[in-house]
């Protein structure tokens, strides 16, 4: 049980750091305009999407880290999964190298590990159980 909790917190902290750091970069690039937003343009998305993604990631990190609110956590984990699957798919579609896909894949794996190993107090309790 203790081992599971340690792995959960390691994965969750790395997930939070990864999402928060990419969110900050996205928000700063959105403010800088075209000069720092080459990747989003390369993927075929509009620049304003950087602001939206950055805000979603910050809110998701807060939701995953704060105590209680298990339903909100479920939505945050789902959102992280959708974001990372979308990023992976986008890189595959434009035929980027595997090195461009690995960061999103790593964050997806951390999302799944954190979600799967979360403590009982961070899960939605079903009445039917």
Q: Residues 105-114: pLDDT tens digits? A: 999 999 999 9
Cα dihedral across residues 95, 100, 105, 111: positive or negative: negative
Q: Is residue 52 part of a domain?
A: yes
Query: 67, 121 in Cβ contact below 8 A?
Result: yes
Residue 70, domain member (yes or no): yes
Instruction: Band the pLDDT of 33: cuts 50, 70, 90.
Output: low
CA 82 to chain centre: 8
pLDDT beyond 70 at 129: no
Give how many domains the chain has, as a whole number: 1
At 122 the three-state DSSP class reads: helix
Read off the pLDDT of residues 7-22 as tens digits, 9 standing for 90 and up. 999 999 999 999 999 9
Residue 129 placed within a domain? no
pTM confidence score = 0.89
Give the integer Cα–Cα distance in Å for 8 and 87: 24
């Amino acid at each position: 049980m203790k081992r599971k909790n340690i792995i959960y917190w390691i994965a969750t902290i790395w997930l939070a750091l990864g999402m928060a750091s990419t969110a900050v970069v996205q928000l700063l690039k959105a403010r800088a305009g075209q000069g720092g937003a080459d990747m989003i343009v390369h993927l075929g998305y509009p620049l304003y999407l950087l602001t939206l993604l950055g805000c979603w990631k910050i809110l998701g990190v807060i939701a995953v880290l704060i105590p209680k609110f298990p339903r909100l956590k479920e939505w945050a984990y789902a959102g992280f999964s959708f974001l990372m699957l979308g990023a992976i798919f986008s890189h595959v579609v434009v035929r980027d190298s595997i090195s461009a896909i690995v960061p999103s894949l790593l964050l997806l794996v951390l999302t799944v590990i954190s979600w799967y190993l979360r403590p009982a107090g961070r899960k939605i309790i079903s009445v039917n159980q």
